[in-house]
Amino acid sequence: MRARHVVVAGGGIGGLTAAVALRRHGWRVTVCERAAALTGVGAGIVLAPNALRALASAGLDPGRWAGDVLPGQVGLRTPDGTWLRRSDDDELSTRYGLSARAVHRGFLIDTLAAALPAGVVHLGVSVTGVDDAGDAVAVRTSAGDLRADVVLAADGARSALRGRLFPRHPGLRHAGEAGWRAVLPGADPPVRQAVETWGRGERFGVVPLADGRVYLYATAVSGPGARPVDHHAELTRRFGAWHSPIPELLDRLDRLDPRDPDPAGVLHHDFHELAAPLPRLHAGRVALLGDAAHAMTPNLGQGGCQAVEDAVVAAHLLASADDVPTALAAYTKARHRRTTLIARRSRRVGELARLSHPLAAPLRNLAVRATPRALSLRALDTVFGWQPPSAPAPSPATPAPVDVEEQR
């Protein structure tokens, strides 16, 4: 029997997870990544319990490679160091059966890519269009045309394929904020708390990564296109008087060695999200996943986690499907409502966090502190408590990778 062929547009977290999951079920896979290298420079990612379950269901056991759980207290503080809300690992582990792990995005992408054989991922190859003929898809790429049974568009927030499938959709909108990201080498003493601090219209986050490095991020209310002349000076101006260890970390940030394994320094970017949910996440034999399907603000830390969920659900539904369009319709049904609600919740958290009025911000803090701990945890149940679908047994066949050139 001919192994069915999937073309994945995009070699990010969602695209690579889908590739691994579908190969496990006997599909031939071609991943087309327009960049010249697979990268995740300058940022960490927190793998929440829902993402860890999804990765495990795809045969990727995070317990073996994702390092230790996030250490110590995790929660929210004010600039003077007062705790607004916090929880510890035992509490989260008891509730969800798993505790979050934090890794560098580059490490996660490398781990996913290493689970694929040579010849599956094609770098420097972009998918420029698709022609769905009903019984197959002609995939237009910069290296030639391919023929596939299904296309998974994981080509990011500015997805070209989303624009082709839904040309009347308004696309992205600016979310009213901009952010900074950086990764610091480990230090002695090590950072042992994952904390986000809320000020007036500004936030600062510190996350210790599994490899000993420290992921920093910060946000501020900003219009589109605004760029500080000196990022370190701007961060110091905004956050240099906040509680420890923020000033110390900013001082280390100014002394980043360009020879460091992650030499990106400080990254700065505007926040964008889809202006409205898509009407569906598929069209015929083409499905969108990750940011291409539901670009959201980072306020819940669920962008990458939802991409992983998308990937394993799509793979599960395609694994034994006799009819691809029917399977992708089931994918929309399984994912559309959940991702729409999470994107909406993330937007609301952002609106709350960026309050800057001198009366509104203290009232917000008071409300957060007054919220019962059990209620705060229950609010996360629908996000962290997600369970992946029961997967069919993996196929014993291991199809050969597809040569992009062979189908020209």
- Specify whether the CB–CB gap between 342 and 184 falls below 8 A: no
d(CA 59, CA 43): 25
- Specify whether the CB–CB gap between 17 and 311 falls below 8 A: yes
Q: What is the pLDDT of residues 102-150, one digit of tens each?
A: 999 999 999 999 999 999 999 999 999 999 988 999 999 999 999 999 9
- Specify whether the CB–CB gap between 288 and 153 falls below 8 A: yes
Q: Is it the case that residue 393 has pLDDT exceeding 70?
A: no
- Residue 50 has phi, psi (to 5 degrees) of -65, -40
Partners of residue 206 on adjacent β-strands:
195, 216
Q: What is the pLDDT of residue 187?
A: 80
Owning domain of residue 290? 5-172+273-407
Averaged pLDDT, 19-46: 92
Taken in order 146, 150, 156, 159, is the CA torsion positive or negative? positive
d(CA 293, CA 78): 34
Identify the weakest region by mean pLDDT among 62-71, 99-108, 109-118, 331-340.
Answer: 62-71
Structure tokens at 238: 């905004």
Q: What is the pLDDT of residues 147-161, one digit of tens each?
A: 999 999 999 999 999
Q: What's the maximum distance between 2 C-alpha atoms anywhere in the chain?
A: 68
For residue 125, what is the domain's CATH number?
3.50.50.60
More confident residue, 93 or 33: 33
Q: What is the pLDDT of residue 258?
A: 52
d(CA 171, CA 73): 38
Query: pLDDT category, 397, cuts 50, 70, 90?
Result: low
- Give the DSSP letter of residue 55: H
Identify the weakest region by mean pLDDT among 56-60, 183-187, 245-249, 278-282.
Answer: 183-187
The answer as to whether 303 is a domain residue is yes
Q: What is the DSSP string of 252-263?
A: HHTT--TTSSST
- Give the DSSP letter of residue 317: H
- Specify whether the CB–CB gap between 244 and 266 falls below 8 A: no
d(CA 28, CA 5): 5
Q: What is the pLDDT of residue 2?
A: 74
- Specify whether the CB–CB gap between 306 and 292 falls below 8 A: no
Query: pLDDT category, 66, cuts 50, 70, 90?
Result: confident
Partners of residue 101 on adjacent β-strands:
47, 69
d(CA 12, CA 406): 24
The answer as to whether 337 is a domain residue is yes
The pairing of beta strand 5-9 with beta strand 150-153: parallel
d(CA 108, CA 110): 5
- Specify whether the CB–CB gap between 19 and 314 falls below 8 A: no
Query: pLDDT category, 17, cuts 50, 70, 90?
Result: very high
The answer as to whether 61 is a domain residue is yes
- Specify whether the CB–CB gap between 7 and 130 falls below 8 A: no
CA distance readout (Å), 110 to 121, 195, 264, 339, 350: 12, 26, 17, 26, 30
Residue 140 has, within 13 A of its CA and on its CB side, a CA count of: 8
Q: Is it the case that residue 398 has pLDDT exceeding 80?
A: no
The answer as to whether 57 is a domain residue is yes
Share of the chain above pLDDT 90, in %: 75
Q: What is the pLDDT of residue 405?
A: 44
Instruction: Outline where DSSP puts E strands in 114-184.
Output: 121-123, 127-132, 137-141, 144-148, 150-153, 172-184
Structure tokens at 289: 């996943």
Number of domains in the chain: 1
- Specify whether the CB–CB gap between 50 and 144 falls below 8 A: no
The answer as to whether 380 is a domain residue is yes
Alpha helices in 44-122 (DSSP H): 49-57, 62-65, 89-96, 105-114
CA distance readout (Å), 379 to 344, 382, 385: 14, 7, 10
Q: Is it the case that residue 404 has pLDDT exceeding 60?
A: no
The answer as to whether 86 is a domain residue is yes
Stated length of the chain: 408
Query: Cα–chain-centroid distance for residue 44?
Result: 10
The answer as to whether 62 is a domain residue is yes
The answer as to whether 106 is a domain residue is yes
Highest mean pLDDT among 62-66, 288-292, 392-396: 288-292
Query: pLDDT category, 261, cuts 50, 70, 90?
Result: very low
Chain mean pLDDT for the chain:
90
